[in-house]
């Protein structure tokens, strides 16, 4: 049998997503006292370390794109699980220069027990998975960014007390060990990016409403291969899509945006900034659009001020630093 691969949250059932979140929360509770300064950790002797499930094992971090949060998360998570993360950047190995993806996957899979790949085109990671004898997990591709949405979900669960008096979710979408989320209205104001794509196939299945604003034009619309997965999962019924940011934020509990100019799109910067006029997340936008008074803000980082102003990004609505840290615990749960 081929090994299990992980390309997108569309590959996981609701129960699998919730078990991953529950395990991530457990790992965070178990590890945080052990990582505290020595004087603070003296009283934490009752805390148990996680299982050393990756002891004597290696995970190849196959990154063709630069990274801060994903690389740090993967390397530190692997270390805590007793394993070794091997960073293989595009300047470090023969892949794409003198060796095909097929041959590289076969070689890496003979020496490592897993591949965590951050690539450009999604076809690149699919090619790796076709030929790898070990599990391949998507750290980011042009179409999907599943580990980011897991971190966002864990962050929202941790801050569930921000959303009082919302309708409760169906019990089969609850996550054991962490605060349950009510039914949320989640607004996306930005590009049809890999982050949004995994939101589209996840939030509606968990009982949340998703409201999207993206500029008009083919460059900003959902790719057919993604929208087909959305419809296969029945998620399209829980999505409102327009080109109006104020419509998107109406009734929103959470407002999310991302970069407008991804790596490789630098030559489109002038046109994209023009197309995204009016899309900056601000207090004014959300007030005039009718977001909930206690709305919260997420951004996967790195952030530019034209995407969200300093008042929101640096203010009490922002959960971005918890969100960034939770990349580590959710990736650690996936690795286990």
Structure tokens at 23: 């395990």
How crowded is the C-beta side of 176, counted as CA atoms within 13 Å?
4
Please tell me what DSSP assigns to residue 314.
Answer: S
Neighbour-count burial for 39-78, b at 16+ CB within 10 Å, e otherwise: eeeeeeeeeeebeeebeebbbbbbbbbebebbbebbbbbb
> Can you tell me the distance from the alpha carbon of 121 to that of 141, in angstroms, rounded to the nearest whole number?
6
> Can you tell me the distance from the alpha carbon of 3 to that of 58, in angstroms, rounded to the nearest whole number?
16
> Can you tell me the distance from the alpha carbon of 193 to that of 132, in angstroms, rounded to the nearest whole number?
27
> Can you tell me the distance from the alpha carbon of 227 to that of 223, in angstroms, rounded to the nearest whole number?
6
Q: Which of 222, 235, 286, 300 is catalytic?
A: 300
What phi and psi, each to the nearest 5 degrees, are found at residue 123? -60, -25
Q: Map residue 91 onto helix, strand or coil.
A: coil
State yes or no: is 300 an active-site residue: yes
Tell me how far apart the 2 most distant CA atoms of the chain are, in Å.
Answer: 59
Please tell me what DSSP assigns to residue 99.
Answer: B
Answer whether 134's CB lies under 8 Å from 3's CB.
Answer: yes
Structure tokens at 205: 């299945």
Answer whether 64's CB lies under 8 Å from 116's CB.
Answer: no
Known catalytic residues are: 300
């Amino acid at each position: 049998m081929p090994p299990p691969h992980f390309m997108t949250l569309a590959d996981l059932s609701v129960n699998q997503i919730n078990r991953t979140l529950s395990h991530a929360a457990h790992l965070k509770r178990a590890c945080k006292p052990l990582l505290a300064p020595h004087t603070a950790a003296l009283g934490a002797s009752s805390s148990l370390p996680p299982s050393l499930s990756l002891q004597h094992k290696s995970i190849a971090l196959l990154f063709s794109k630069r990274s801060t949060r994903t690389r740090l998360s993967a390397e530190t998570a692997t270390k805590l699980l007793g394993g070794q993360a091997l960073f293989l950047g595009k300047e470090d190995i023969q892949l794409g220069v003198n060796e095909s993806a097929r041959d590289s996957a076969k070689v890496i899979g003979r020496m490592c027990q897993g591949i965590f790949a951050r690539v450009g085109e999604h076809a690149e990671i699919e090619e790796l998975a076709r030929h790898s004898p070990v599990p391949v997990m998507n750290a980011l591709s042009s179409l999907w960014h599943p580990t980011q949405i897991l971190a966002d979900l864990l962050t929202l669960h941790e801050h569930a007390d921000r959303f009082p008096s919302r309708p409760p979710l169906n019990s089969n979408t609850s996550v054991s060990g962490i605060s349950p989320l009510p039914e949320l209205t989640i607004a996306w104001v930005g590009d049809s990016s890999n982050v949004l794509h995994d939101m589209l196939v996840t939030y509606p299945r968990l009982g949340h409403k998703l409201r999207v604003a993206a500029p008009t034009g083919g460059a900003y619309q959902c790719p057919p291969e993604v929208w087909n997965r959305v419809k296969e999962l029945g998620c399209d019924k829980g999505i409102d899509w327009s080109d109006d940011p104020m419509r998107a934020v109406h009734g929103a509990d959470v407002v999310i945006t991302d970069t407008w100019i991804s790596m490789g799109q630098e030559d489109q910067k002038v046109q994209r900034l023009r197309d995204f006029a009016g899309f900056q997340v601000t207090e004014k936008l959300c007030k005039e659009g009718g977001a909930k008074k206690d709305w919260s803000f997420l951004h996967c980082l790195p952030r530019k001020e034209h995407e969200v102003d300093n008042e929101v990004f640096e203010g009490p609505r922002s959960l971005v630093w918890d969100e960034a840290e939770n990349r580590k615990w959710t990736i650690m749960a996936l690795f286990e």
